[in-house]
Chains A and B, each alone.
Chain A
Amino acid sequence: MSISIKFFASLREQLGRDDCELEAGTVRTVAEAWARATNDAAMPVNTLMALNMEYVDVDTPVSDGDEVAFFPPVTGG
Chain B
Amino acid sequence: MKVEIREAGFEPFAEVSRYQTAMQAAGKFGAAAVFVGSMRDFNEGDTVEQMWLEHYPGMTEKYLEKISCDAMERWDLLDSFILHRVGRICPADAIVLVAVWSAHRAAAFEASRWLMEELKSRAPFWKKETLSEGERWVAKNTPG
Contact = CB atoms under 8 A, between A and B. Distances in A.
Interface of A: 6, 8-10, 13, 48, 50, 53-55, 69, 71-77
The residue in B59, B63, B120, B140 that gathers the most chain A C-beta atoms within 10 A of its C-beta is B59
A8 B120 contact: no
Interface residues of B, number: 28
Nearest to A77: B120
B54 A77 contact: no
B137 A72 contact: yes
A76 B62 CA distance: 15
B103 to A, nearest CB: 27
Please classify the interface of chain B as helix (H, G, I), strand (E, B), loop, or mixed, using the class held by over half of its residues. Answer: mixed
A11 to B, nearest CB: 9
The residue in A71, A73, A75 that gathers the most chain B C-beta atoms within 10 A of its C-beta is A75
Interface in B56-109: 56, 58-59, 62-63, 84, 95-96
